[in-house]
């Protein structure tokens, strides 16, 4: 299978790296494009061994699966550029925030096979979480193809398109929330006397470990939380502070606000 990326930035490179590292696709079967003004992105892609071009239509001609990995504002221009080169044999996978399947389909030839994905940045370290929705002209097997490609950089799941904005509010935007949590925990560690680098590592490993426990044990997080809180112990004192600050309510507000923002973008 030949893979093309229109847009050669952070997400395209993360996905390309995942595909190569998984052994599923070799670098010489991947091509990426970017305008001349953004040569630096293509230099980074060349360093990964990818083919590169300034010509978006060439990406389509040389690919079976074409990722639209440009910023949302560039999608309509790119779609009109590639439309003449597209056939029903191409699968078009958009990762652009807020741009609906119907919107993309309307810019491409009729019956174009379009998939909309919401990935997230931990894809860079192959710990991403992506959800994808299938367009009206997709065929049997397309969802499996997309799931296989995305799972090279983490967890991937098919959802109805109506869930893509909530996914954006949760896992698409979530890494930034969690970076702030790590920073806050580390600041707390520094305040009580830990060296900064140690505090940061402990905070990051704590999040990683808690996430792995939820995923690998299948135990509800409330139960896991109860399990570490002994009567009058330090954890329940810390938890009382978090709940006094409305931690869970604030997280819920954050997901809702980001979801609404994503809906407004579309
Ligand atoms: P980026 O700025 O790193 O990369 C964008 C790329 O598009 C660059 O290589 C740029 O040169 C290229 N480009 C611009 N105009 C172009 C054109 N006319 N033709 C071809 N290429 C063009 O952006 P990114 O962070 O990789 O984001 C790409 C998409 O992924 C966006 O739509 C974004 O909404 C989505 N996304 C990003 C994240 C994230 O956390 N970074 C998460 C989910 C979804």
C-alpha 28: how far from chain center: 24
33 alpha carbon to ligand 1 midpoint, in Å?
A: 11
pLDDT band at 13 (very low <50, low <70, confident <90, very high): very high
Nearest CA to ligand 1 atom 1: 9
Helix or strand run (H / E) with residue 114: strand 113-118
Q: Is the CB of 9 under 6 A from ligand 1?
A: yes
Which pLDDT does position 265 carry in this prediction? 77
CB atoms within 10 A of CB 154: 20
Q: Rounded CA gap, 137 and 222, in Å? A: 42
Mean pLDDT computed over every residue of the chain: 96
Q: Rounded CA gap, 242 and 228, in Å? A: 15
Contact 70, 7 (CB under 8 A): yes
> Which of 69, 133, 266 to mutate for ligand 1's pocket (most ligand atoms within 8 Å of CB)?
69
Q: Is the CB of 6 under 6 A from ligand 1?
A: yes
Nearest CA to ligand 1 atom 31: 71
Residue 266 has pLDDT above 90, yes or no: no
Residue 231 has pLDDT above 90, yes or no: yes
Nearest CA to ligand 1 atom 33: 96
pLDDT band at 24 (very low <50, low <70, confident <90, very high): confident
Contact 62, 51 (CB under 8 A): yes
Nearest CA to ligand 1 atom 37: 11
34 alpha carbon to ligand 1 midpoint, in Å?
A: 10
ipTM score of complex: 0.97
Q: What is the DSSP letter of 171?
A: I
Ligand 1 atom at minimal distance to the Cα of residue 98: 34
Ligand 1 atom at minimal distance to the Cα of residue 117: 44
68 alpha carbon to ligand 1 midpoint, in Å?
A: 8
């Amino acid at each position: 299978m030949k893979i093309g990326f229109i847009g050669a930035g952070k997400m395209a490179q993360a996905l390309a790296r995942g595909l190569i590292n998984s052994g599923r696709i070799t670098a010489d079967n991947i091509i990426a494009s970017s305008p001349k003004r953004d040569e630096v992105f293509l230099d980074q892609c060349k360093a990964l061994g990818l083919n590169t071009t300034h010509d978006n239509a060439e990406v389509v001609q040389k690919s079976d699966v074409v990722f639209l990995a440009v910023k949302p504002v560039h999608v309509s221009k790119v779609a009109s550029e590639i439309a003449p080169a597209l056939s029903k044999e191409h699968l078009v996978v958009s990762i652009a925030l807020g741009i609906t399947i119907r919107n993309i389909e309307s810019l491409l030839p009729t019956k174009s096979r379009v998939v909309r994905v919401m990935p997230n940045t931990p894809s860079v370290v192959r710990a991403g979480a992506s959800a994808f929705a299938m367009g009206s002209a997709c065929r049997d097997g397309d969802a499996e193809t997309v799931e296989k490609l995305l799972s090279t950089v983490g967890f991937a799941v098919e959802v109805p398109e109506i869930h893509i904005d909530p996914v954006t509010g949760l896992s698409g935007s979530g890494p930034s929330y969690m970076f702030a949590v790590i920073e806050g925990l580390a600041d707390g560690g520094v305040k009580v006397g830990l060296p900064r680098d140690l505090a940061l590592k402990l905070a990051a490993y704590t999040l990683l470990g808690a996430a792995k426990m939820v995923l690998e044990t299948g135990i509800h997080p409330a139960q896991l939380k109860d399990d570490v809180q002994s009567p009058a112990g330090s954890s329940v004192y810390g938890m009382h502070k978090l709940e006094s600050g409305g931690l869970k309510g604030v997280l819920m507000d954050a997901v809702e606000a980001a979801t609404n923002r994503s809906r407004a973008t579309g």
